Each structure stands twice: as C-alpha cells, then as structure tokens.
Amino acid sequence: MTDIAFPINCFAELPTPFYAYSIDLLHQTLQTATNAAGPDAHIHYAVKANANPVILQKIAKAGFGADCVSGGEIEAALAAGFDAKKIVYAGVGKTDAEILRGIDAGIGCFNVESAEELEIIAALASERNKTVRVALRVNPNVDAHTHKHITTGLSENKFGINLEALQPIAERALALPSVELYGLHFHIGSQLLDMSPYAELCAKINDLQDSLSKNGIFVNSINVGGGLGVDYDDPDKNPIADFDTYFATFKNGLKLRDGQTLHFELGRSIVAQCGSLISRCIYVKHGTVKKFVILDAGMTELIRPALYSARHKIQNISATEGSPTETYDVVGPVCESSDVFVCDGLLPVTQRGDFIAIRSAGAYGEVMASNYNCRKLHPAYFIN
Ligand SMILES: *Cc1c(COP(=O)(O)O)cnc(C)c1O
C-alpha cells in the first residue's frame, strides 16, 4: 500500500494537510500531450483546474497557452509568464473591468457567450481604439453524459450561444468594426472518458461550418474546449490521460477548412494526477455499525466529493504491505454532513496519526480550497 508517487519519509515531519505535487509527472504529462496534439494544434491550459503559481510557470514554460475564465485568472496567467497572445478568455459574466484588462493586456481571443456581451466588448474595444478577436461560444447541444454539475453543452445551460441564435450574432460580429470574428468555441463538459460525445461534437461542428459557409461566414479558428477525463480509480495504472485517442478523435472527425487553426483547452487531464492531498488521521471513531476515519483534511481542501459525489482513491501510506483491512467512512472535520471522502471504503486498519493520501487531487483541489469554518489555506510542496 506504499505504492504512491511520493516517498513518505520526505514529508514525515511536515504538518498536515498539504498538497504534494510531482513535477516529474507534470512534465511527462505536458510532453505526452504536446506530442499527441502534434505541431499544428494549440493547447490552452484551463487555469481554473489549478492556478498554483509554480504549476502555472511549468505549463507556461512548456509552451502552452492559457484558457482563463476571470480577470484574476488573466492576471495569474500573465504573472506566470504565459504569452498574452496565447490567452483565451471565456465566461458568461465578464465584467467591464475584466474585459478592459483583457483588451489592455492584448489577449489572443475573447470567447463570447451572449449577444449582449458581444456589444459590450465591441464598445469597450472601440473606447480603447482597438480591434479585438472574438470567438463565439456555441452551445452544440451535445450531451457529455457526465455529472450534471459538469455538463455544459446542452441547450438549457447558462453557457454559450444556442445554434439557432448563432447566425445573426455572427453577422453582427462581422459588422462591428472593433471586433474581428476570429473563431468558434465549444466546451461540452468535463471528465469525459468515452470519446463518443467528442465525435458527436465534431459532426456538429462540420455541419455548422457547412451552414455558415453557405451564408458566407468563415472563421480562422476552431476551439473545441477541454474535458478529457482521468482515471480516478487507478491513478498508478493510468497516471497520464489518454491524449492519443482524444486528439485522434478530433483529427479524424473534424473537417477543418484551409488555414483554420485548431485549439484545445485542457485542464483536469494536465494536472489531476500529479497532485495528492496528504492528511493525517486524527481519530478513528467506532459508531454503532460504521467505523469512521476522521482526517485533518476535508471539503475545505478538496471539495469534489462533497460538491459532485466525486470519488478519489484513498491510501493509508503509513500502513505496511499486506496489513489487514477494514471498512471505513473516511470523513473530514468540517461541520457539513457532505464532508465525506468515501463511504464504506476499504483501507488497511488505520490508527490515529497515519498518513492518508487522497490521490488525483491536482485538478479542482487546491484551487477550490476555502476558509470555511475559519480553516486556513494549506501549503503545497513539490517533489522532483
Ligand atoms: C473548465 C473549462 C475547461 C477545462 O475543462 P477540463 O475538464 O478541466 O479539461 C475548458 N474550457 C472551458 C471554457 C472551461 O470552462
């Protein structure tokens, strides 16, 4: 059970909880993704998955662009060294101040989510005497078959412009002098392991391009978003996401026009597996029927289980190989009933003081941490 990327002796003295990141695995992941994508694809790392400055700097150094969803993320990406021209900016609620920040920084593209937003971006760009690139975020009505809180591509969803509404908004973008209609943007959901929704997305994009070109509308770029899933059940067997199959699905499925560039916005698949949340067992409590392992980490450090019933592999890394096992509910200390990492999980017999690793916590972990219950934010350590 000590089969973990992090040697326990290197953090035995550290106070818990904390995040431990394997920089080696991050590098291998970035390299694998880059090779699989090929020289013509542009990958914009989705900053919202993990905005730790060290992680951002490594990803920027690897040549990736950034996908931002707020002014704060644009600041973080610029500070980490991302090239402003490789920043794309999505989000349904961009404020005027955030839009101006993007314009002034000279970001590569605004991914526009509504007709009203397009008008505001155009007005602010014209105030600055600039022409800005926009991509229209299209809601392709593809069911990603993922958890309802992380599906984004259905019509009844706050994200994107519905297919029926697209043509007039595209025409309006063409007519506005301060914007350049640069591309079409899509993002159908997250943690997709089955590639068929992506194949369906490709078919929708091909149809859409056909109907737009009939009306004389051509765009320079197609951005298919992110969402590639990772193996939460067995991160040691599959430490790197299946980038080959993912990129091949788009290469085979999309009919790009001459000169069109292809963009991706991967978040989770870049950073999930390189991070673990390391905690200690504070108490083992015997209920009437259940046994509880109570950790010093909870939903304040990793909210995914509480927020969308996500499962993470949990390991007792203090236990010795072959020790007897026991069924536990592994829970955090926060005063919410949903602060549970697993119900009826099988762990080696656990005692107060044991180190417990919650794996695959590199994406949507540290970045979603909160001070709820007046808890403090916890540090990250990097292992080479
Ligand atoms: C969240 C998000 C992504 C990244 O999703 P992952 O599942 O982490 O790959 C990409 N694009 C947009 C617009 C997003 O909101």
Same domain as 327, residue 303: yes
Cα 152 to averaged position of ligand 1 atoms, centre (Å)? 10
Same domain as 285, residue 221: no
In a domain, 12, yes or no: no
Measured CA to CA in angstroms, residue 104 lies from 73, 78, 93, 109, 128 at distances of 15, 12, 19, 12, 8
378: its two tokens: 């916890």
In a domain, 6, yes or no: no
In a domain, 131, yes or no: yes
Single residue among 271, 289, 320 that ends a domain in this structure = 271
The per-residue pLDDT for range 187-238, each reduced to its tens digit, is 999 999 999 999 999 999 999 999 999 999 999 999 999 999 999 999 999 9
The per-residue pLDDT for range 369-384, each reduced to its tens digit, is 999 999 999 999 999 7
Q: Which pLDDT band holds residue 149 (cuts at 50, 70, 90)?
A: low
Same domain as 233, residue 141: yes
Considering only the C-alpha atoms of the chain, give the largest distance between any 2 of them, rounded to a whole number of Å.
Answer: 70
> At 345, phi and psi to the nearest 5?
-90, 145
**Model confidence at 321: pLDDT above 90:** no
Same domain as 230, residue 97: yes
Q: Which pLDDT band holds residue 8 (cuts at 50, 70, 90)?
A: low
Same domain as 189, residue 280: no
Q: Are 134 and 116 in contact (CB under 8 A)?
A: no
Please give the sequence-ordered ranges of beta strands (E in DSSP) within the chain, or none if there are none: 18-22, 41-46, 65-68, 87-89, 109-112, 132-139, 161-162, 179-185, 221-223, 261-264, 275-286, 291-295, 314-316, 325-331, 340-348, 355-358, 380-383
Give the ligand 1 atom nearest the CA of 227.
7
Cα–Cα nearest to 96, from 67, 66, 128: 128
Cα 139 to averaged position of ligand 1 atoms, centre (Å)? 14
Q: Are 382 and 21 in contact (CB under 8 A)?
A: yes
Stretch 272-295: mean pLDDT, rounded? 97
Q: Is the CB of 265 under 6 A from ligand 1?
A: yes
Residue 9: the pLDDT is 67
Residue 176: the pLDDT is 98
Same domain as 284, residue 216: no
Q: Give this prediction's pTM.
A: 0.95
Same domain as 246, residue 311: no
Q: Which pLDDT band holds residue 3 (cuts at 50, 70, 90)?
A: very low
In a domain, 253, yes or no: yes
Which residues neighbour 109 within 8 Å (Cβ) at sequence distance 6 or greater? Answer: 87, 88, 89, 133, 134, 135, 182, 183, 221, 223
List the domain range (segments joined by +) for residue 206.
23-271
In a domain, 185, yes or no: yes
Stretch 27-37: mean pLDDT, rounded? 98
Same domain as 216, residue 364: no
Domain holding 256: CATH number? 3.20.20.10
Give the ligand 1 atom nearest the CA of 111.
13
Give the integer Cα–Cα distance in Å for 378 and 362: 14
> At 348, phi and psi to the nearest 5?
-60, 150
Q: Is the CB of 67 under 6 A from ligand 1?
A: yes
In a domain, 15, yes or no: no
Give the ligand 1 atom nearest the CA of 189.
7
Stretch 16-20: mean pLDDT, rounded? 97
Give the integer Cα–Cα distance in Å for 144 and 192: 7
Same domain as 293, residue 192: no
Give the integer Cα–Cα distance in Å for 108 and 102: 9
Single residue among 255, 271, 287 that ends a domain in this structure = 271
Instruction: Answer with the residue of higher pLDDT: 2 or 50.
Output: 50
Cα 225 to averaged position of ligand 1 atoms, centre (Å)? 6
Domain holding 309: CATH number? 2.40.37.10
Residue 151: the pLDDT is 61
Place of tokens 């599959």: 238
Q: Is the CB of 48 under 6 A from ligand 1?
A: yes
Domain count, the chain: 2
Letter string b/e over residues 292-306, b meaning 16 or more CB atoms within 10 A of that residue's CB = bbbbbbbbbbbbbbb
Q: How much is the mean pLDDT over the chain?
A: 94
Same domain as 316, residue 198: no
Residue 143: the pLDDT is 82
